[in-house]
Amino acid sequence: MLVEKVTTLLRHFLNFQQLKQLHTLILVHDLNHLNGLLIHQLITSQSTYSQNISHYLRSILLHLKQPDAGSATSVIRYFCTHTRFQEAFALYVELHTSGFVPSTFSVASALKACARTGNKNGGTMIHGDLAKAEELFSSMTNKDVVSWNSMVSGYSRNGDMDKALSLFQEMPERKLSSWNAMISGYVECGKVGLARNFYNSMPERNSISCITMIGGYSKCGDVESARELFSKMDRKDHLLYNAMITCYAKNSRPKEALHLFSEMIEPNVKVQPDKMTLATVTSACSQLGELSFGSWIHDCYMKQLGIAMDDHLCTALVYLYAKCGSIDTAFNLFHKLNKKDVVAYTSMILGCGLNGKEQIAIKLFDEMMESNIRPNLLTFTGVLTALSHVGMVEESYHCFNSMKKYGLVPTPDHYSLMVEILGRAGRLEEAHDLIKGMPMKPHAGVWGALLLACSTHNNVELGETAAKHCFELEADNSGYGSLLANIYAGAGRWEDAKRLRNSIHEKGLVKIPGSSWMDHMQA
DNA sequence: TTAGGGTTAG
């Protein structure tokens, strides 16, 4: 009697409070099988993400003695559709450790969350669950397209394209989304050519197929192929524009990104941008140091379109303002973030480090460490840049050496910064030793930093060594020759200086503005 | 009652 009553009630539209009351009823009367329905209603009654609901959903699931796969999948998907991939994956791990038996659907959802958070280790963990899911799948009597697709996407997200392909070929009725899952898998493992073969042989395509391909070309730097596919699409929605604008921005072609954006909003095209478009366009502005266009987006355009701020867009603006030296505005936005993550902190640290606010950059880094936010390679670029400007050698060493604590391997750029720091302090031999001990081949920027230091400290011998490497690595950059000539002149070796300057002149080399070590200082 | 494919920030 009660069961029917609660079930009927659950099929009606109820608000959060009413659903909570029903949940109490379910708990008291041990009507566990109704939890799935309750969870579904809780999710569908919400149009936006809410912290409240999210906590509540988690607690319902985790208090179940045996959470069913359907409910678990619904909640994981709730997090995913609201781009809370970390929460989605964390929930899956929690369920897993409490003995939850995964289904094909829950595995596919968890893998999606994993892929979007860049969590490779998680993918490996789920691999084991995938085998269980496959068992479950083979025992299913009436497999529908959704279950087939879940298996295909499960394997393709896990990088097992052989299995994904054989399942795909076995599928009785392939849908558009099945093809898209295959394309996405090949793109993910860097096989963009194979992805393109699939794309070409598809019976029909939608904008998702095209977006996936553009993303693949973007990742491998093939902007031209991306543009070719983009141009061929006759109906272009804002998602397609977003993908292409992102492709330009990610491949350091910010001008083309802005150009395509202006094309998108032209009166005769008039595709409505969303917050993703604006986040990407803001990023293109940052690359160009184009503050006026970016602040127009912030001050006018968002209001005009009725687009609300979100953390991604806000972070893009934080970096724009910080990089352009408007540290106060950057800070105001930074404090408005719902969640200050590694990207937000790094944006502030980089911006402050570049604009003479070194102490603030260092303070932000400490604050970030105290909040247990894991730094990444770019965070260290930011903090080392700040430290280099104030000449804090021992702190820099400490910082540089702490990278491995976070599983980070310093890149040649980080070595460049250390060489610059040691060089400024006049510790040239030490800088040279650091270069000699590098586990990878130093690029011209590393030797360039040493060469620059040798010129400020008048060290001819080491300067010659550094210059020799620079010439080898970047033969067409005359900046290095000029630096060495200055060193000769400073040491009174006028003949050598003259000889070098003449040879630069003869080769017709023009000093390239912003050589690579300058880029490191200004990037 | 639910479950599958894509694009955003340093």
Predicted local distance difference test score (pLDDT) of residue A517: 36
Of the pLDDT bands very low, low, confident and very high (cuts 50, 70, 90), residue A495 is very high
**Residue A523 pLDDT exceeds 50:** no
User: What pLDDT does residue A442 have?
Assistant: 94
Give yes or no for residue A188 having a pLDDT over 70.
yes
Q: How far is the CA of A363 from the C1' of B10 (A)?
A: 18
Nucleotides on strand B with an atom closer than 7 A to protein CB? 1-10
pLDDT for position A267: 92
Nearest residue to nucleotide B7, by CA–C1' distance, is A243
Gap between the Cα atoms of A85 and A79, Å rounded: 6
- Tell me the nt nearest to A154, Cα to C1': B4
Domains of chain A (ranges; CATH) run 413-523 (1.25.40.10)
Residue–nucleotide distance: A113 CA to B4 C1' (Å): 14
Q: Which residues contact A155 (CB under 8 A, 6 or more apart)?
A: A130, A161, A163, A164, A167, A185
Which nucleotide's C1' sits nearest to the alpha carbon of A106?
B3
Q: Which of A131-140, A312-321, A367-376 has the weakest average pLDDT?
A: A131-140
**What is the model's pLDDT at position A518?**
37
Res A371: pLDDT: 96
In Å, what is the separation between the CA of A480 and the C1' of B8? 40
Q: Which nucleotide is nearest to A108 (CA to C1')?
A: B4
Distance A102 CA to B9 C1' (A): 33
Separation between the CA of A30 and the C1’ of B10 (whole angstroms): 49
Task: Give yes or no for residue A519 having a pLDDT over 60.
Answer: no
Cβ A174 vs Cβ A204: under 8 Å:
no
> How long is the CA A101 to C1' B7 vector, in angstroms?
32
Average pLDDT over every residue of A345-357: 96
* Confidence band, pLDDT 50/70/90 cuts, at residue A23: confident
Lowest mean pLDDT among A153-157, A274-278, A433-437, A508-512: A508-512
DSSP, collapsed to helix, strand or coil, labels residue A269 as coil
Q: Which residue is nearest to nucleotide B3 (CA to C1')?
A: A105
Q: What is the mean pLDDT of residues A227-252?
A: 95
Give A447-509 as a DSSP string.
Answer: HHHHHHHHHHTT-HHHHHHHHHHHHHH-TT-THHHHHHHHHHHHTT-HHHHHHHHHHHHHTTP
Nearest nucleotide over every DNA/RNA strand to the A103 CA, judged by C1' = B3
Q: Is the pLDDT of residue A5 over 60?
A: yes
pLDDT exceeds cutoff 90 at A281: yes
Q: Measuring from the CA of residue A322 to each C1' atom, give the nucleotide at the shortest distance.
A: B10
| Mean pLDDT across chain A | 90
Cα–Cα nearest to A472, from A491, A447, A455, A505: A447
Q: What is the mean pLDDT of residues A250-263?
A: 97
Range of weakest confidence among A64-68, A220-224, A245-249: A64-68
Separation in Å: B3 C1' and A29 CA: 28
The Cα A445–Cα A25 span in angstroms is 68
Phi, psi of A492 (to 5 degrees): 80, 10
Predicted confidence (pLDDT) at residue A20 exceeds the cutoff of 90: no
> Considering chain A, what percentage of its residues have pLDDT values greater than 90?
63
B5: residue with closest CA to C1': A177
State residue A509's pLDDT score.
55
Q: Which nucleotide has the shortest C1'-to-CA distance from A241?
A: B7
How many residues are present in chain A?
523
pLDDT at residue A510 above 80? no
Whether residue A47 has pLDDT greater than 80: no
Asked whether residue A124 carries a pLDDT value surpassing 80, the answer given is no
